[in-house]
C-alpha cells in the first residue's frame, strides 16, 4: 500500500510534482495548488466538461538535454533533479488513486536520449497504469517533440487528453527560444496526426471508446512574439486541428538561464489573450476581428469583446428579438447559454424589458449600450466601460 513505498521514490515524486509550475493545463494555477498530507503536490483542476478533480501534475524526469532559453530544466543548469522509472511511477500514482488522494494524473518529462526514447518511457507509464494496475482515473499524457506517428497513436489509445507544447507561434520565434527543435516536423506535425487519427480511425480504439482531447501551450513573452501572431496560430489550432485549448504560460525569468534578465510577462496580457482565445473558440470570432496596437498586441485597458462592440455596435445596436445566434454572441455580457435562452424566450413573445434579460443571467450593464429591445434603446445604465 501507499505507506510502504520507499522514501526515495516518494521524495522523487514530491520533487517532480513541485516543479510543474510551467504547465497550466486543466485550468490549474498557483491558487489551485494544495499540498496533500502525503507530501505530494495536487492541483484542483477543471476539465472541459466542467468537472472538477484532484490532479497530480508531475514530471517523469526533470533531467533534460534541450537548451530552451527560458526553461529552468534546460541542459547544464545547476539545480536538484530527479527521475522515476515507469514501474515506480505507475505504482505510486495508482496507490495515490486507490487511497482517494487524486482523481487523475498529468505526466510530462524532460527529454532524455531524444524525443522518441522519452516518449517510449511515457507510454510505458501509461500502459502499466492502465493494464497492470487497471487505473481508471483521468490521464493527461504529454507528447514529446519528435515523437513518431505510432507513438502518438498509442498515446491516444491510453489517455483522456494529449498535449504537445508549441512554445512559440512560428519557426522564427521558436529559434529565439531553442535551436534543438524543429517547429514544423517535431511540434506541429504530431498535432496534425492527433486530429488525423480522431478523424480517420474508429473512435472505439480510444480509451473508453472515445478519442482524447488535445491542447498546446505557448511561452507568453519569451520570444518577443506579438499577440497577433499568437492569435493567428491559435485560430488555426482551433479550426484546423480541433484543439480543445491553447494555454499561454507567462514568461518568468529564472536564474542561470539566457533570459534571466528579461522582464516577466504581465498578468493583464495573459488575461487579454485568454479572453481573445475563448472568443475564437466559442464565439465565432476570427483573428481579424481584434484590434491591435502598432506592436501587434491587444489593448490592455479593455477586454477584446468590449473593444469590438465599441467599434461596431455602439452606433449600430443589435435587435435582441431578431439577431441570430452569432450576432448575439458579439454583445458584451451575453454568452452561448444566455444567447440560447434569448432565442427560446423570444419565440414565445418579444423581449421588451431589461429585467427579462437579467433573469436569464445576462450582464445587462455591459449589454445595454449595444442592443435594442423591440426597436427601442433600453434605459441607459452605468456601464463597466
Q: Is residue 363 part of a domain?
A: yes
* CB 223 within 8 Å of CB 183: no
d(CA 10, CA 93): 10
Evaluate whether residue 224 is within a structural domain: no
- CA distances, 124 to each of 16, 85, 120, 188 (Å): 18, 9, 6, 24
Residues 42 and 158 in one domain: yes
Whether the Cβ atoms of residue 195 and residue 214 lie closer than 8 Å to each other: yes
> What pLDDT does 79 receive?
87
**Angle CA 143–148–151, to nearest 5:** 60
Looking up residue 174, the CATH number of its domain turns out to be 3.20.20
Q: Which of 166, 195, 219 is the last residue in one of the domains?
A: 219
Same domain, 319 and 215: no
User: Over the chain, what is the mean pLDDT?
Assistant: 92
pLDDT in tens, 31-85: 455 655 466 889 889 876 778 899 999 999 999 999 999 999 999 998 899 999 9
Q: Quick check: is 6 in a domain?
A: yes
308-356 pLDDT per residue, tens: 999 999 999 999 999 999 999 999 999 999 999 999 999 999 999 999 9
Q: 84 and 213 share a domain?
A: yes
Q: Does residue 58 sit in helix, strand or coil?
A: strand
380: in domain: no
Domain boundary at 189, 219, 249, which? Answer: 219
Check whether residue 87 and residue 196 sit in a common domain: yes
Assign 1 a pLDDT band (cuts: 50, 70, 90). very low
| 190-233 pLDDT tens trace | 999 999 999 999 999 999 999 999 999 999 999 999 999 999 99
Last residue of a domain, one of 219, 250, 280: 219
Identify the domain containing residue 337 by its residue range: 312-372
* pLDDT value at residue 384: 44
Three-state DSSP class for residue 9: helix
Quick one: pLDDT band at residue 2, thresholds 50, 70, 90?
Answer: very low
The least confident of 26-30, 96-100, 152-156, 162-166 is: 26-30
Q: Do 10 and 138 fall into the same domain? A: yes
Sign (positive/negative) of CA torsion 322, 324, 325, 331?
negative
C-alpha span between 262 and 247 (Å, rounded): 21
* pTM attached to this predicted model: 0.92
**Is the pLDDT confidence value at 271 over 60?**
yes
CA 77 – CA 60 distance, rounded (Å): 18
Determine, yes or no, domain membership for 227. Answer: no
pLDDT at 21: 78
Contact indicator for 318, 328 with CB cutoff of 8 Å: yes
What tens digit of pLDDT does each residue of 300-320 get? 999 999 999 999 999 999 999
Strand residue runs (E) in the chain: 33-35, 41-46, 52-59, 104-108, 138-142, 161-163, 213-220, 245-250, 318-319, 371-372
**Does a structural domain hold residue 201?**
yes
For residues 31 and 156, membership in a common domain is answered with yes
Q: How many domains does the chain have?
A: 2
| Residue 239 counted as domain residue | no
In a shared domain, residues 74 and 191: yes
How confident is residue 245, by pLDDT bands cut at 50, 70 and 90? very high
Q: What average pLDDT does this structure show over 280-285? A: 96
Q: What angle do CA 165, 50, 15 make, to 5 degrees?
A: 50
Residue 38 covered by a domain = yes
Amino acid at each position: 500500500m501507499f505507506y510502504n513505498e520507499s522514501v526515495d521514490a516518494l521524495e522523487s515524486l514530491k520533487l517532480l510534482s513541485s516543479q510543474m509550475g510551467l504547465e497550466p493545463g486543466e485550468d490549474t494555477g498557483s491558487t489551485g495548488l494544495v499540498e496533500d498530507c502525503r507530501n505530494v503536490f495536487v492541483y484542483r483542476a477543471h476539465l472541459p466538461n466542467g468537472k472538477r478533480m484532484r490532479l497530480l501534475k508531475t514530471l517523469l524526469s526533470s533531467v533534460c538535454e534541450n537548451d530552451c532559453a527560458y526553461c529552468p530544466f534546460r541542459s547544464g543548469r545547476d539545480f536538484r533533479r530527479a527521475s522515476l522509472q515507469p514501474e515506480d511511477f505507475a505504482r505510486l500514482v495508482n496507490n495515490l488513486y486507490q487511497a482517494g488522494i487524486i482523481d487523475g494524473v498529468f505526466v510530462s518529462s524532460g527529454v532524455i536520449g531524444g524525443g522518441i526514447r522519452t516518449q517510449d518511457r511515457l507510454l510505458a507509464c501509461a500502459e502499466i497504469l492502465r493494464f497492470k494496475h487497471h487505473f481508471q482515473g483521468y490521464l493527461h499524457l504529454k507528447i514529446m517533440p519528435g515523437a513518431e506517428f505510432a507513438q502518438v497513436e498509442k498515446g491516444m489509445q491510453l489517455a483522456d487528453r494529449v498535449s504537445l507544447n508549441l512554445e512559440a507561434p512560428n519557426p522564427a520565434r521558436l529559434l529565439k527560444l531553442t535551436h534543438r527543435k524543429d517547429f514544423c516536423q517535431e511540434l506541429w506535425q504530431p498535432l496534425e496526426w492527433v486530429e488525423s487519427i480522431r478523424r480517420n480511425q474508429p473512435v472505439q480504439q480510444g480509451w473508453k471508446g472515445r478519442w482524447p482531447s488535445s491542447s498546446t501551450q505557448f511561452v507568453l513573452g519569451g520570444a518577443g512574439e506579438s499577440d497577433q501572431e499568437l492569435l493567428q496560430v491559435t485560430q488555426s489550432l482551433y479550426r484546423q486541428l480541433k484543439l480543445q485549448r491553447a494555454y499561454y504560460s507567462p514568461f518568468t525569468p529564472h536564474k542561470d538561464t539566457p533570459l534571466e534578465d528579461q522582464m516577466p510577462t504581465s498578468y493583464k496580457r495573459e488575461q487579454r489573450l485568454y479572453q481573445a482565445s475563448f472568443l475564437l473558440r466559442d464565439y465565432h470570432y476570427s483573428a481579424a476581428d481584434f484590434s491591435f496596437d502598432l506592436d501587434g498586441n491587444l489593448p490592455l485597458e479593455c477586454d477584446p469583446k468590449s473593444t469590438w462592440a465599441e467599434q461596431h455596435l455602439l452606433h449600430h445596436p443589435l435587435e435582441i428579438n431578431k439577431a441570430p445566434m452569432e450576432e448575439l454572441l458579439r454583445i458584451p455580457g451575453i454568452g452561448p447559454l444566455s444567447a440560447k435562452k434569448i432565442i427560446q424566450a423570444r419565440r414565445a413573445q418579444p423581449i421588451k424589458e431589461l429585467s427579462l434579460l437579467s433573469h436569464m443571467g445576462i450582464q445587462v450593464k455591459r449589454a445595454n449600450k449595444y442592443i435594442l429591445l423591440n426597436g427601442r434603446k433600453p434605459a441607459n445604465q452605468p456601464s463597466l466601460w
